[in-house]
Structure formats: C-alpha cells, structure tokens
Structure 1
Amino acid sequence: MPFNLPRVTKALLIANLVAYLLQWVVGEQAYAFLELWPYVPDAPEQWFMPWQLLTYGFLHDPGNIAHIAFNMLALVMFGAPLEYTWGPRRYLTYYLTAVAGAGLCQLLVTSWMAASTGDVGSTVGASGGVFGLLLAYGMLFPNQRVMLLIPPIPMRARTLVILYGLFELMLGFTGLQPGVAHFAHLGGMLFGWLLIRYWRGQPPFGRGRGPRLRVVR
C-alpha cells in the first residue's frame, strides 16, 4: 500500500479496495441496491435510486480483478498529481462530479436501451471518475509524458486524452466492445471538462475572466 499518497487519493483507494473485498464476502444480492440500475418503471425488483449515481463508482465486478486493478492504478497515477495541485477539497469535488456525471450519462443510455429491448442490467466501476481524472490531467499537464500499458507507447498527456476520448466514442456508437460502459467513460470526461470550465469562468459559464487553473507545461 503506497502510504505516501495524498489523503483523498489514499482514502478513495482504500474505499474501493474495502468495498471490493466486501463484495466477495456478502454476495451481489446484498449490495445490488448500490449498483447503478436503469430507470425501468415496470421492473420493480431492481430500480434506480438517486444514491446509485455515486455508490456504483465504488463497486467493481468481483469476477474481473483487472477491472479494479487498472482503475486503481489510474487513480493513483492521475489522481495524486491533481490532488497536490488542487488541494483535497477541490480534488474530491471534481472526482465525485465526474463519477456522478458518468453515472447520469450511463443512466440515460441504459434506461433507453432497457425501454427498447427489455434488457435490464446494472453498472459498477470507478472508470467514469478515472476518465474524468485523465481528462483533468491532460488539461493541467498537457505536455507531461505518459506511457500506455498496452501497447507501451510514450506520448503527451494531451494526446492520450484525445485518443482515449475518440476511442471510447467509436466503441460506444459501434458496440464493438459490449459489456463496457463507454458512455459512462465519456460522461466522466464531459462533466470533468464542464467543471473545469466553470472554475475558470469560461463559456458556457462565463467570459473567461475567472481565476485560471494552473497548467504545467
């Protein structure tokens, strides 16, 4: 456990790991009400509740350890520098906004799909918040060199954000990778981008006269 992490990033990491272990212990039926379910009026056995827009982001698929492993690695890699730059309060506000925004986008998409096909399934994972962190990292540290894991290619953070965004958009609309919440990933990036623009006083929230967030070149 990396104990030298900033406190909010460390707390988020611990919360996700503890939740993952508890999921193994209690079984899905015990925590299904915390997963993000689509809004389907005629499916009373599982239904959407407002708190799920946040709680789903602390759950992961117990049968897919790579899911939580990659999310937590990204949380540490991109979250820690952002917390050191923004401070704990602004950083936590940003992360939870990205999680909730990702959940809202996923809720709209899955509710529409459930109404169209009758297929009702839940969503779990911190990926929406992680993609929000990736977006913020690319905006604040655009020229920082980062390394893809698969394949191991070095590139600028800004380039990585653009490529990931386009890739998720393509997968979301083509359905080439089913079972992955691509629109949640995009939603995390979208709401993160909107919050940064709000903090900067930029359109559509202002005329660009607000305080600028530090950009590391």
Structure 2
Amino acid sequence: MNRARSLVTVGDPGRLAAAGLAAVVVTIQAGLWLSGGATALPDIYRRFGLSRDGLEEGKIWQLESYALLHGGWVHTLTNILGLVFLVPQVQRILGSRLVAAGLMGGVLAGGVAHVMVSRHEVLVGISGGLSSLMLLLTTLAPEARVRGLRISAGNLGRGFLIASAALMMISPQTGIPGLERVGRWMDERGGSSVFQIAHACHLGGGVFGWMLARWILRPRADLKKLRAARARREGGP
C-alpha cells in the first residue's frame, strides 16, 4: 500500500501532464487531418506554423504555436512517444515548473535557431522542446546508462548536439558555402529525407536544455561561503 501510494504521488503528475499535452496535440492533428491537412488548410499552417516571413509580419505567437502543429501522423506519434517518455522523467527529478520551463524554452530556442538559418520553410512540431528535455536529463545524469544502447546518457546528449549541428551546417537550406555541396551530394543520392528534419530546431532546443541543466547544477552559495567572502572583502581573517 505504501509503495502504491508513493507511485501515485511521485509518478502520476508527470504522466498526467504528458497525457494531457499529447491529447491536445492529437486532437489538433486529427482536426486538421479530417479537414484535409496542410494541402486544404495552408493558411492555418502559415498563421500558426513558424517562419521568418511570419515573424517579420508581426506573428510573434508563432514562436510557441508551431509546436502544436505537426506535418503528419508519423511526425505526431513520434513526438507523442517523446512526450510520454521524457515529461514524466523530468517531472520526477525537477518538478512541474522546470518541466514547463524546459519544454517551452526549448520550443522557443529551437524556433529562433530555425528562423536564423531558414527564411521560407514553415516549421511545425514540438521536437525543439523534446530536445531540450532530453539534454536536460542527459546533462543532469551523464553517467546513467541508456537502456538498449551501450552508451552513457552524457555521450548520447553530446552526440545528439554534434550530429544536429553537423547536419544543420551541411543542409542545402542553410546555404553555407562549401558545406552545402555535401548536403546537395547527399540529397542527390537519396538522402533528401535527412534534410526534411529541422536540425537547427533540434540544436537550439538541445542547447537550451543543456544550459538549463548547467544552471540547475551551478554551485550554490551557503552562509559559510558568504561570510568568508565578506571577510576577504573587509580584510578580516
């Protein structure tokens, strides 16, 4: 009984939060799908999806609203799996406020990174927030082992950031002279699906999660340290 009560009080808030957010995403996706999707409703995606053009028109809400739209059911279900796994994990460790901060901050940072490297492409999906939560977890517990993989959580997080940065830089959409040739070479040889992923968004969200984790892990000043610092300033012993 005590164990059951403990599981309810510790685990349920994260599961409920993940389920609630997943339900919102599925409901929106189902409504758009039943109405014909992006082909039939391009104005919805232009208004609430994220693009640099949209921001220049004053649609600031796009920096968060794009996370609730998705490109299709595979995209939607993939991100829902991420929500179901990551949100309860972060909730157990840090609580609901930092879950919200990590998710919304990652969405914002991922969106900013996207519009910095891409002008016309419309971004949708919550993966920037998921990237943030993943780096938050892997940075807080770098020595943990990832189930099913022979790799530590810390190496997984670092590898994710490096891969996202590399794929962003060689992407034809980024247009970095020299590097884009590599991306075009891959694109011509059947690798176009690699560049349909918003690597800049993943990188921006991941960096935000890493920075949030480093802030959480920062050294905290205690009374003894404060007194010692004051004594040094005043020339005392």
Give the alignment's TM-score, normalised by structure 2. 0.69
Is the contact made by 2:161 and 2:207 (CA closer than 8 Å) also made in structure 1?
no
Say which of 205, 208, 211 aligns to 1:188. 205
1:111-122 correspondence runs (5 A): 111=119, 120-122=120-122
CA RMSD of aligned residues (A): 2.5
Structure 1 residue 40: Cα displacement: 7.0
Q: Distance in 1 between matches of 2:167 and 2:139?
A: 23
Secondary structure at the aligned position of 1:145 is classed as coil
Is the contact made by 1:36 and 1:122 (CA closer than 8 Å) also made in structure 2?
yes
Q: CA offsets per residue over residues 133-159 of structure 1, 9 Å max, x none?
A: 110110122222224xxxx63322112
179-188 or 161-170, which deviates more: 161-170
Say which of 14, 31, 35 aligns to 2:44. 31
Is the contact made by 1:34 and 1:51 (CA closer than 8 Å) also made in structure 2?
yes
Q: Decide whether aligned partners of structure 1 residues 162 and 39 sit closer, same or farther in structure 2, where only a CA change above 3 A counts.
A: same
Is the contact made by 2:99 and 2:133 (CA closer than 8 Å) also made in structure 1?
no
1:112-191 correspondence runs (5 A): 120-147=120-147, 153-175=149-171, 176=183, 177-191=194-208
Q: Distance in 1 between matches of 2:202 and 2:108?
A: 11
Structure 1 residue 182: Cα displacement: 0.4
Q: Distance in 1 between matches of 2:216 and 2:145?
A: 25
Say which of 48, 53, 57 aligns to 2:63. 53
What is the number of equivalent residue pairs in this alignment? 185
1:45-84 correspondence runs (5 A): 47=57, 49-62=59-72, 65-84=73-92
Q: Distance in 1 between matches of 2:74 and 2:65?
A: 20
Say which of 84, 87, 94 aligns to 2:95. 87
Q: Distance in 2 between matches of 1:79 and 1:48?
A: 31
- Residue 20 (1) aligns with residue 29 (2): yes
Structure 1 residue 210: Cα displacement: 5.9
Counterpart of 2:226 in structure 1 is none
Q: Decide whether aligned partners of structure 1 residues 133 and 154 sit closer, same or farther in structure 2, where only a CA change above 3 A counts.
A: same
Structure 1 residue 10: Cα displacement: 2.1
1:67 partner letter: H
1:35 partner letter: G
Runs (5+) with no aligned partner, structure 2: 1-10, 172-182, 184-193, 223-237
2:158 partner letter: I
Identity %: 25
Q: Decide whether aligned partners of structure 1 residues 179 and 82 sit closer, same or farther in structure 2, where only a CA change above 3 A counts.
A: same
- Residue 10 (1) aligns with residue 19 (2): yes
Larger Rg: 2
Q: Distance in 2 between matches of 1:35 and 1:121?
A: 10
Runs (5+) with no aligned partner, structure 1: 112-119, 203-207, 212-217
Secondary structure at the aligned position of 2:143 is classed as coil
Higher helix share: 2
Is the contact made by 2:144 and 2:152 (CA closer than 8 Å) also made in structure 1?
yes
Structure 1 residue 198: Cα displacement: 3.6
Give the alignment's TM-score, normalised by structure 1. 0.75
Q: Distance in 2 between matches of 1:25 and 1:87?
A: 36
Structure 1 residue 197: Cα displacement: 3.2
